[in-house]
Structure 1
Amino acid sequence: MSRRNADKPSVFLRIDRGWLKPETSYDAEVLGRYANGSVVEVVMHEPQSEQQARLLWRVLGIVADNSDYANAEALMTALKVKLQHVDSVSLIGGGLHLIPRSLKDFDKPGLSRFFDQAMQVISDEVIPGLDVDRLVKEGRVVLGRRA
């Protein structure tokens, strides 16, 4: 669902003492289109942390610069395949093609799990023994945020 899809608009709701409340004026406007007492379907999903995604890319950039990977994108692709964040396609005539999925497919807990698993792969296989905890802490300082 997207905020641009008029048929099924998406809204952000904040949980406040057990009640769902609109996050922004846009969200309140969309909810206001429904009559009081309407039953609507809500699919619960906590969006991923933009700060954590930025931190992941920052760390991958540093690791790529110090490894055999051409850049952060190449390392990300390798990590997605290694961690099976892919779609597979059976090819005509046999064989299998793996297509890395987008990080945007993750919700907040999913991105956190991927992040932790990626750091483990980096420490175990990309640059064995790398202190990824220290690298992540330094990345947080540079970004000026908690991720």
Structure 2
Amino acid sequence: MEMDIKAILDCLPHRYPMLLIDRVLDVEPGKSIVALKNVSINEPFFPGHFPHHPVMPGVLILEALAQACAIVSFMGVGAKPEDKAVYYFAGIDGARFRRPVVPGDQLRLEVTVERASRGIGKYAGKALVGSDIAAEASLMCAMRKLES
């Protein structure tokens, strides 16, 4: 199942400049997701990271993976925007950065749900540029309902 930007905006609470998912190529709710992040020179972080050698910060690559985790998990439990819930990034293990991500790259975000129960999930994530792994990590996220 694919998702365009409208469906992504309906699913995630993130907005510019923190929305880091542009398209979902495939999602199996509660199991796995493949999503894309197009990296443009117009990203707000590039003027400061670094002015003469723009590189996407590793923490933002991890945030993009966490947003993919949220989509696959929200869909797995059938959450809707009116449920007013968010997935918080709760933990990370084994983060490795293998290559820089630069303007013009397209990140392919691949996430698999390893375990999910009582609103807490553990995920295996990889961010690739072409066939090269740019970053990988085990992530934990927790769903919380927002108070009205």
Task: Give the alignment's TM-score, normalised by structure 2.
Answer: 0.29
Give the strand-richer structure, 1 or 2: 2
Larger Rg: 1
1 or 2 for the larger relative contact order (CA 8 Å, sep ≥6)? 2
Give the helix-richer structure, 1 or 2: 1
